[in-house]
Amino acid sequence: MEKIMKEAIIIVLESIYDPEFPDTSHFRSGRGCHSVLRRIKEEWGISRWFLEFDIRKCFHTIDRP
């Protein structure tokens, strides 16, 4: 029952908020890392570089109310 409720809430919230996100936002329904990489390839061609960052140590600097 909990999984059904969770899915129902996700469907409702996505239907409300998904249209508000810009087309360049890839962290939403049906998108993710692969859509970002596909868009980079379409707009920039083949990249010969890739940057990787470890941001785990940055989280302690975020203010939490």
10-residue block means of pLDDT along the chain (65 residues)? Answer: 92 87 78 84 79 78 70
Where are the chain's structural domains?
2-61
CA–CA separation, 61 and 65 (whole Å): 13
Q: Name the pTM for this structure.
A: 0.44
Joined together, the tokens standing for residue 40 give: 């980079």
pLDDT for 12 equals 92
